[in-house]
Amino acid sequence: MTVPTDQHKELKKDVTFRIFRFNPQVDSKPYFDDYTIPVERGITVLRSLNYIKEHIDASISFRAFCQAGICGSCGMRINSLSQLACTTQVWDVLSKSKEHGVIKVEPLRNLPLIKDLIVDMDPLVGKMKHYSNWVDSTMPEASMGKKEFLISEQEFLRYDKATDCILCASCVSECSILRVNKEYVSPAVLLKSFRMNVDSRDAIHEQRLAELVKDHGVWDCTHCYRCQETCVKSIPIMDAIHGIREDAIESRGMKDTSGSKHAEAFMSDIEKKGKLVEATLPIRTNGVLWTLQNLLPMAVKMIIKRRTPPPPPLVKSAKGIKIFREMFREMTEHVKQDHKSHKK
């Protein structure tokens, strides 16, 4: 079989990697270096970086370990999107490059820069500690190892996806709140917190939750969905965030005074602007009916800290808005009742 000639031509492409450089020992500010190499189909960004390091410039610094998308070391921004270099195909990103034939490679955002493409992961680890991202077992240490907990497949499925997280910090890099508030809990840590909270073996669910509803916690999230869209393991991070909020309302009610303030802010937001900024996103993603059944009751009770909202989504379905408004009115009444009874 002969390969058509135009395919022959396409076997290799010259690709320019525009790499972010910064060495704190000598550079006062970062700059970019261009490296142009021929790249064939099937080559990942990481393999290209390795090639450049081995053959052109040994001083380029980046992390990589498993080279198989499982250790989470190689998170970086490739053409302005945070992802893993080792699972990203060069030709794929090339087709989306703004400048023809150029791929821009930068370090993750929202974590302190160390050198070139390497950022400091310690702040993230610090937050995992702060939010007790571990199972604090209901079983005393002395009894351990003797028998297993009985856990249903159903419970397992609740945290199964969340345990896929490889702590690559891609979501952290894209989070809109972290850009303005570095103390914000972070999507990956919310995900992990949720995973612990739904584990029946864990004994400190209340304590963790109490921490999560404080400042810089779960209520700071704007529901912009950036984290979920970014996640390199396609984990539904928003389910975790909703889960924690639902849980917080269910088990803590409107006890949190800050919570009720957020609720008011949320409602007036909708009334004034006539825009269903946050709630429409789930409609878009999950459909009207799903949203009404699952989210609206909570969404209205809910409680969003007042922040610059993300750009309003374009909801085309007039029907969706109409149904939403009706539900909203109903729920508002309900919340007011709720509120009163709590105050008593």
Which residue ranges make up the site for another protein (CB under 8 A)? 23-26, 42, 44, 53-55, 57-59, 61-73, 87, 89, 114-116, 118, 121-122, 125, 128-129, 132-137, 139, 141, 143-153, 156, 159-160, 163-164, 166-167, 196, 199, 201-202
Q: Which helix (H) or strand (E) holds 152?
A: none
Query: Is 84 an interacting residue with respect to ligand FES (CB under 6 A)?
Result: yes
What's CA 197's distance to the chain center, in Å?
18
Q: Which residues in the 127-186 window bind ligand SF4 by CB under 6 A?
A: 165-171, 175-177
Here the tokens at position 225 are 């969905």
Query: Is 73 an interacting residue with respect to ligand FES (CB under 6 A)?
Result: yes
| Amino acid at site 260 | S
Q: Which of 104, 195, 233, 305 binds ligand SF4 (CB under 6 A)?
A: 233
Here the tokens at position 176 are 């809109």
Cα(343)–Cα(255) distance, integer angstroms? 9
Specify the residue, 98 or 147, whose C-beta has the smaller distance to another protein. Answer: 147
CB of 48 to another protein, least distance (A): 14
| Nearest CA-CA partner of 74 in 92, 90, 61 | 61
Provide the mask over 86-115, with x wherever binding to ligand FES is found by CB under 6 A and - wherever it is not: x-----------------------------
CB of 173 to ligand SF4, least distance (A): 8
Alpha helix ranges (H) inside the chain: 5-9, 45-55, 90-94, 122-130, 153-160, 170-174, 176-180, 187-197, 205-212, 226-230, 237-252, 257-273, 280-286, 288-290, 296-301, 318-343
Residue 262 near residue 306, CB atoms below 8 Å: yes
Using CB under 6 A, which of the segments 65-73, 175-183, 254-262, 316-324 binds ligand FES?
65-73
CB of 152 to ligand SF4, least distance (A): 25
Q: Which residue has the tokens 């209520």?
A: 219
* DSSP states of 229-250: HH-TT---HHHHHHHHHHHHHH
Specify the residue, 93 or 241, whose C-beta has the smaller distance to ligand FES. Answer: 93
Q: Which of 73, 110, 133, 222 binds ligand SF4 (CB under 6 A)?
A: 222
Q: Which of 31, 32, 65, 156 binds ligand FES (CB under 6 A)?
A: 65
- Site residues (CB under 6 A) for ligand FES? 64-67, 69-74, 84, 86
